[in-house]
Structure formats: structure tokens, C-alpha cells
Amino acid sequence: MGHTIEIAEFLLLVAAVVGVLARRLHIPYSVGLVLAGIALAFIPYSAGLPLTPDLIFTTLLPPLVFEAAFQLPWKPLRRDFPVILLLATVGVVLAAILTTVGMHYVASWPWLAALVFGVLISATDPVSVIATFKECGFGGRLRLLMEAESLFNDGTAAVGFGIAVTLALGQHASALDLARTLVVVAGGGILSGALLAGAILLLARRTTDHLIELTLTTVAAYGSFLLAEHFRLSGILATVTAGIMLGNIGALGGTITGKGREAVEAFWEYAAFVANSLIFLLLGLHLARQHFSSLWLPAASAIVIVILGRAFAVYPVCLLFSRSVLRVERQHQNLLFWGGLRGALALALALGLPSGMPRREDIITVSFAVVASSIFLQGLTIPPMLRKLAARESAA
């Protein structure tokens, strides 16, 4: 326990220093953290620092997802929900299909291994996306679309990943069974989050103590996730649902007091900052330990294929709304495409692959390569693109 606290304190100190330097050097904070993590890999002290699926999923992901969902405004979300829903479902499926086909024919991977990789890498990562938009201070509809899509499509990818792994391990299931599993896992996750959030809202009505309100939101964030995962449902969708309900019903209905709202927002902003910092530091540290030389062709192919898959997900879906009031402007489409960052979620899914999974080590290594290219290539170019767009929109 003492050793764990020492590690956490050391990493937070590194994160604080990186934050100061990143601001001075005008580079994205997430990029600076990954670079710092790579540097830490050469320190003997870092040998025992873990990056496990449980650490990412159970400890670090819930606060990031909850904080982002808590801040989503219901009226704009409801208005743009058809666009978000199609991007998070049809878009993920289209990206997964193109990536699967590409990895099979270009990298010569077996169909099932290509399918598993295609599904786990197809969703944009809320950690990376939300961090980028926060650093740039960019708001409006584009941020809503990006953040909401990244929250919901992670649920889609996680559910699809479970089905893909089942098929890859040779466990036979009919199309009807797979469809039923998809509906139950996704719908059950949403229901779990709604039930727990409803119970939390009822309890919150009986207090005006902002510390108790803060405690109840903590229970909601982690409790919704753990409850859903206990029943093998989507923990991500459960936490998203709980965050949206508490952030909107709780505030608008007066369930959460004004002081409680301020305390909750401040606390979860810090919790998200800590989780975000730890994820990117650990990501960089373990990125430095990957051996890409033997897999340079599949890795390079995957980087290009995943980018093309994102284009295949964004532009056809947005085309469906081109003649409606929900039309997405071309510049926003371009940023939705290029801003589709990959990160911790893909790595958590890859690291959680069963030991008997064919091409397991290859999938993990190539996933690290795609995430690294996403952070450095897209992560460094998105901020100036956002600033240029903001300047153009303010001048219009």
C-alpha cells in the first residue's frame, strides 16, 4: 500500500511538471505526458509500474467518463442524438469492417484476428478526445458531437469486442444470439446506470450537504460501472447514463444544490485530470517497451487503415443528414474525422485479450503503434486546426 502511494505521488509530481512545461512549450498536455512516460521507461524505478485492463477500466476510466457525461447538456444532446447515435453505432461498424478487411488483405492476418483488432480499434477514445478539446478550450456543437460520440461508441466497441473474441476463440453462436447479446449488454448497461442514478437522485433530495452530494456522485460513477460489469453488461454505457442523468435531472430539478453542483464539478474536474495524467504517463512508459521492428509492416499498414476506417465512419454517416436540420458542416466533418483519436480504451481491450487468443501479442503491439501515431500525429495537429476553425467562426 505504501509503495502504491509513493508511485502515485511520484507520477502526479511528474504530471504537474509536465503540465507547466507543456504550457510553456505550447504542446498538448497529453503529448507531453506520453513523452514523459517514454522517458520514465529508462529509469529502473519504473519497472514495476502497471498498465493493466483492470487499472484502466475499473479505476481510471469511470471518473473520466462520468465527468464528461455530467457536463453534457441535455437539450443539445437530444437534438443531435440521431447524428451521435449513428456515428457511435453504424460508424463504428463501418470502421471495424474496413479495418478488418484491410488487416486481412494488406497485413495477411487471419480473418478472426483481424476482426478482433478491427473492433477494438474502431472506436474513438474519450480520454484522448476530451483531453484535446479541454486543452484548446473549444466548445459548441463540434465538441458536443466529438465528446458524446466518443462516450457512446466506446460502449458499442466494448460490446462488439466481446462478440469478436467469442468468435475468435471458436465458440459458435448464431446471428440471432449475437444480436441478442448486443441488445442485452448495451441495453442492460443503460438500464443499470439509470436505476442507480435514480436511486442516487432520491437520496440526494434528502440532503443539502454538498459533501454528501459529492459522495453520492462518486458512488454513482463507480457504482454504475461496477454494477453493470458484475452482470456482464456495458459498464461504460452505465456510467455515461448515470452522468447524464445526474448532470441534468439533478441540476435542473433542484435535486443537487447550487453549492453541491460547484463542489461536484470541481471535484470531478480534478479526478478526471488525475486519471487522464496517469493514463497518458503509463501509456508512454509501456509504449517505450514495445518491440515494433518485427511488426513494422502490420503496424504501418494498421495506422493507414485505421485512419481510412475513420473516414469511412464519418463521411457516409454525415451524408445521411446533409439535407436535414442536423446537417454537419464540412469543416466539422473534417475535424470529426481527424479528431478520432485512439487511446487507453483500445489498449485496455487489447491487453485484456485471453492468453489463447490467436495473434494476441501482435494485436497488442500493433494497437500500441496505432495509439502512438494517433497521439503524436493527430494530437499535435488538431489544436491548430481547432484554433483556426474558432478564429474563422468568430470572424463570420
Residue 256 to residue 247: CA distance in whole angstroms = 9
Whether 368 maps to a domain, the answer reads yes
Identify whether 329 is part of a domain: yes
Task: Quote the pLDDT of residue 91.
Answer: 93
Q: Which of 185, 181, 164, 165 is nearest to 232 (CA)?
A: 185
15 domain-assigned: no
Beta carbons of 131 and 30 less than 8 angstroms apart: yes
Angular region, 359: left φ>0, alpha ψ -120 to 50, beta rest:
left
In a domain, 21, yes or no: no
For residues 355 and 108, the answer to whether their CB atoms sit within 8 Å is no
CA distance 235 to 13: 30
The pTM for the full model equals 0.88
**Would 118 be classed as within a structural domain?**
yes
pLDDT on residue 83? 95
Query: Does any domain span residue 31?
Result: no
The H-or-E segment that residue 204 falls in is: helix 175-204
pLDDT reported for residue 36: 92
Taking only the tens place, the pLDDT of each residue in 173-230 is: 777 877 888 889 889 999 999 999 999 998 888 888 888 889 999 999 999 999 999 9
* Residue 140 burial (CB count, 10 A): 12
- Give start and end residues of each alpha helix (H) in 231-343: 235-245, 251-252, 258-287, 296-319, 330-338
Q: How far, in Å, CA of 376 to CA of 170, rounded?
A: 37
With respect to residue 14, please indicate whether it lies within any of the assigned structural domains.
Answer: no
- pLDDT on residue 224: 96
**Which CATH number belongs to the domain containing residue 206 in this structure?**
1.20.1530.20
319 domain residue, yes or no: yes
Residue range of the domain that includes 332: 51-395
* C-alpha cell recorded at residue 94: 463501418
pLDDT of residue 1: 47
Total domain count, the chain: 1
Q: Which residues of the chain have pLDDT under 70?
A: 1-3, 45-49, 126-128, 136-137, 250-256, 395-396
**The residue to which cell 457504482 is assigned:** 223
